[in-house]
């Protein structure tokens, strides 16, 4: 006798085949935070280097081509033919499977180093210079 369940068999919440993105250019001003209650985008503070000194802890990972790795979080926001995809910066120096940052720090701008990148819609429109990796 088999018992069927609607629960996942593992704690993973995002599909394993979602993939990653690699920066092809400076993304510090192109990673955005999104506020659901007001449906507005703003600059993700963890991705910027506010002082301009290049010393931002995480901004250096998205400042140059190939320096960082962005995990696709499986959420899309569409706004007037513009498509944004939720990503999370993978940090190799932490022991929590690449998840860095903290929850609730200047939410939503710094929550666990997540943000949104704009993808081209139907081959046109503005986009974030990233390459898909690992799909």
Give residue-wise pLDDT tens across range 49-79.
655 554 566 788 888 888 888 989 888 888 7
Q: How far apart are CA 63 and CA 118, in angstroms?
A: 17
Q: How far apart are CA 106 and CA 103, in angstroms?
A: 9
Do 83 and 104 meet the contact criterion of CB atoms below 8 Å apart? no
Q: In the structure, what pLDDT confidence band is assigned to residue 112 with cuts at 50, 70 and 90?
A: confident
Cis bond upstream, residue 108 (ω within 30): yes
pLDDT of the residue at 24: 92
The verdict on pTM exceeding 0.75 is no
Q: In the structure, what pLDDT confidence band is assigned to residue 117 with cuts at 50, 70 and 90?
A: very high
């Amino acid at each position: 006798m088999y018992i069927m369940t609607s629960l996942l068999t593992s704690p993973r919440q995002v599909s394993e085949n979602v993939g990653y993105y690699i920066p092809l250019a400076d993304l510090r001003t192109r990673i955005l935070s999104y506020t659901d209650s007001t449906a507005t985008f703003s600059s993700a503070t963890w991705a910027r280097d506010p002082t301009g000194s290049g010393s931002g802890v995480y901004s250096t990972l998205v400042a140059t081509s190939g320096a960082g790795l962005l995990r696709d979080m499986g959420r899309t926001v569409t706004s007037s033919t513009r498509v944004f995809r939720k990503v999370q910066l993978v940090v190799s120096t932490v022991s929590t499977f690449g998840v860095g940052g903290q929850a609730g720090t200047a939410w939503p701008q710094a929550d666990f180093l997540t943000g949104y990148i704009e993808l081209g819609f139907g081959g046109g429109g503005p986009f974030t210079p990233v390459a898909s990796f690992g799909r």
